[in-house]
């Protein structure tokens, strides 16, 4: 589903695309059978085309990246997670109005320098398994 301005994410490219970039990132966690995902995808692609120079846009199919979906607590699709400095700072879940997503994107771009201070550091050595 990726395009010239969106990246289809997986376990192999997640770190470089999301965690090791200076730009803010939005990731749309989706599933193939999700009707709301299909409805919002054209808007997500439109915003990626409009804002890709200032922000990164990623797509993650939860069926193909179960570990990442669990790691970030994705329980429904679509889930939109915003990252700054590789850290999650905000999320929206479900059939969100497209103009609300665009407003959050603009806010992330405008306040990108401040967002790391408001983010939560990920403790990679802690897992819910064993």
Domains and CATH numbers, the chain: 7-118 (3.40.30.10)
pLDDT attached to residue 87: 86
The residue among 118 and 27 whose pLDDT is bigger is: 27
Whether the pLDDT of residue 116 is over 70: the answer is no
Residue 90 to residue 115: CA distance in whole angstroms = 10
Over residues 48-62, the mean pLDDT reads 95
Whether the pLDDT of residue 114 is over 80: the answer is no
Q: Give, for 108, the enclosing helix (H) or strand (E).
A: helix 98-110
Q: Over pLDDT 90: what percentage of the chain?
A: 62
* Tens-digit pLDDT profile for residues 28-37: 999 999 999 9
Q: Give, for 60, the enclosing helix (H) or strand (E).
A: strand 56-61
């Amino acid at each position: 589903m990726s395009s010239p301005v969106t990246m289809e994410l997986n376990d192999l490219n997640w770190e470089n695309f999301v965690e090791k970039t200076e730009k803010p990132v939005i990731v749309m966690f989706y599933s193939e059978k999700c009707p709301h995902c299909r409805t919002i995808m054209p808007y997500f692609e439109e915003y990626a085309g409009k804002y890709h120079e200032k922000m990164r846009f990623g797509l993650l199919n939860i069926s193909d990246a179960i570990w990442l979906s669990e790691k970030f607590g994705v329980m429904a699709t679509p889930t939109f997670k915003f990252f700054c400095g590789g850290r999650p700072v905000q999320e929206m879940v479900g059939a969100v109005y497209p103009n609300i997503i665009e407003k959050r994107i603009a806010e992330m771009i405008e306040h990108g320098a401040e967002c790391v201070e408001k983010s939560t550091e990920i403790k990679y050595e802690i897992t819910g398994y064993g």
